[in-house]
A and B are shown apart, each in its own frame.
Chain A
Amino acid sequence: MELEVARSDAAEPVVPRLELRGIDKSFPGCKANDGVDLSILPGEIHALLGENGAGKSTLVKIIYGILHADAGTIAWEGQKTHIAGPSFARNLGIGMVFQHFSLFEALTVAENIALGVEGDHDMSRLEARIEEVSAAYGLPLDPRRHVHSLSVGERQRIEIVRCLLQDPRLLIMDEPTSVLTPQEVDTLFGTLRRLSSEGCSILYISHKLDEIKQLCDTATVLRGGKFVGACDPKEESPQSMARMMIGDDVKEPKPQGDAQVGEVVLSVADLSLQSQDPFGTDLKAVTFNVHAGEIFGIAGIAGNGQNELLAALSGEQLVPDGAAVVIGGQPSGRLGPRRRRSLGLSFVPEERHGHGAVPALRLTENAFLSGHLREKLVRWGLIDFPKTAEYAQKICESFDVRTSGINAEASSLSGGNLQKFIIGREILQRPNLMIAAQPTWGVDAGAAASIHQALIDLAASGAAVLVVSQELDELFAISDRIAVMSSGHLSAARPTAATTLEEIGLLMGGDGGAAGERMINVA
Chain B
Amino acid sequence: MMGMIDTLAAILVTVVTAATPLVFAATGELVNEKAGVLNLGVEGMMLVGAVSGFAAAIATGNPVIAIFVAMLAGALMAFLFGVLTLSLMANQVATGLALTMFGVGLSALIGQDYVGTPIKGLAKLSIPVLTDLPLIGPVIFGQDFLVYLSLVLVAAVAWFLKSTRAGLILRATGESHDAAHALGYSVIGIRYLAVMFGGAMSGLAGAYLSLAYTPMWAENMSAGRGWIALALVVFATWKPGRVLVGAYLFGGVTILQLHAQGAGFAVPSQALSMLPYLATIVVLVAISRDSTRIRLNAPACIGKVFHPET
Contact = CB atoms under 8 A, between A and B. Distances in A.
Interface in A80-133: 85-88, 90, 98, 101-107, 111, 114-116, 121
Interface string B166-191: 00110110011011111111000000
A474 to B, nearest CB: 27
**Could you tell me the dominant secondary structure of chain B's interface residues?**
helix
A85 B181 CA distance: 10
Size class of the contact patch on chain B:
20 to 34
A502 to B, nearest CB: 34
Nearest to B185: A115
A329 B180 CA distance: 50
A111 B184 CA distance: 16
A86 B175 contact: no
Given A105-B175, A279-B295, A87 B184 contact: yes
Interface in B223-255: none
Contact of A65 (B171, B178, B184): B184
Given A66-B309, A279-B295, A106 B300 contact: yes
Contact of A67 (B168, B178, B297, B309): B309
B270 interface: no
A445 B296 CA distance: 38
B182 A98 contact: yes
Contacts of B180: 104, 115
Contacts of A29: none
B178 A102 contact: yes
Interface residues of A, number: 26
Interface string A63-76: 00111000000000
B310 interface: yes
Contacts, number: 61
A279 B291 CA distance: 10
A13 interface: no
Interface of B: 165, 168-169, 171-172, 175-176, 178-185, 291-292, 295-297, 300, 309-310
Contacts of A101: 179
A278 interface: yes
Given A107-B168, A114-B168, A121-B165, A102 B295 contact: no
Contacts of B169: 115
Given A86-B182, A107-B168, A115-B169, A278 B295 contact: yes
A115 B172 contact: yes
Contact of A114 (B165, B178, B181, B300): B165
Contacts of B179: 101-104
A106 B296 contact: yes
A88 B178 CA distance: 18
List the 6 closest A-B pairs by CB distance, nearest first.
Answer: A86-B184, A102-B179, A278-B292, A104-B175, A87-B184, A102-B182
A227 B176 CA distance: 33
Given A67-B310, A278-B291, A278-B292, A107 B184 contact: no
B297 to A, nearest CB: 7
Nearest to A66: B182
Contacts of A148: 296
A146 B300 CA distance: 15
B36 to A, nearest CB: 12
Most chain A CB inside 10 Å of its own CB: which residue of B176, B178, B184, B309: B184
Contact of B184 (A85, A98, A104): A85
Given A66-B182, A114-B168, A107 B310 contact: no
Contacts of A98: 182
Nearest to A122: B165
A12 B300 CA distance: 53
Interface string A278-296: 1100000000000000000
Contacts of B168: 107, 111, 114-115
B171 to A, nearest CB: 7
A66 B181 contact: yes
Contact of B172 (A107, A121, A146): A107
A116 B183 contact: yes
Contacts of A107: 168, 171-172, 175
Contacts of A88: 184
